[in-house]
Amino acid sequence: MNNRYFFTIKFLPAQADCALLAGRCIKTLHGFMAVNEAAANKVGICFPKWNDRNIGSAIGFVCHGETTLTGLSYQPTLR
């Protein structure tokens, strides 16, 4: 079984518009995959704090390649 790597981003402050921030993170991921063919369709997302009312206050990125996630984590929007 292959290893999986991940990192999460927590949205702050507590009253932040989590849906807007998640959308910006997803847009950044799509832009990263568009210019990096090695990352195309290799990174997944998750919402570890979701519930039946909202998406929660965090987003996670998951991938088999550690270097791919490192590259993604250096994107200006995610820093």
Task: For residue 41, give Cα distances in angstroms to 10, 20, 53.
Answer: 23, 23, 28
Ordered by start, the domain boundaries in the chain are 5-78
pLDDT digits (tens, 9 = 90+) for 3-46: 999 999 999 998 999 999 999 999 999 999 999 998 899 999 99
Task: Report whether the peptide linkage leading into residue 13 is cis, meaning its omega lies within 30 degrees of zero.
Answer: yes
Q: How many of the other CB atoms lie within 10 Å of CB of 75?
A: 13
CATH superfamily of 5-78: CRISPR-associated endoribonuclease Cas6/Csy4 (3.30.70.2540)
Give the per-residue pLDDT at 12: 94
Q: How many of the other CB atoms lie within 10 Å of CB of 2?
A: 5
Amino acid at position 14, single letter: A
Give the per-residue pLDDT at 79: 82
Give the per-residue pLDDT at 66: 94
pLDDT higher than threshold 90 for residue 2: no
Give the per-residue pLDDT at 1: 64
Coil, helix or strand for 6?
strand
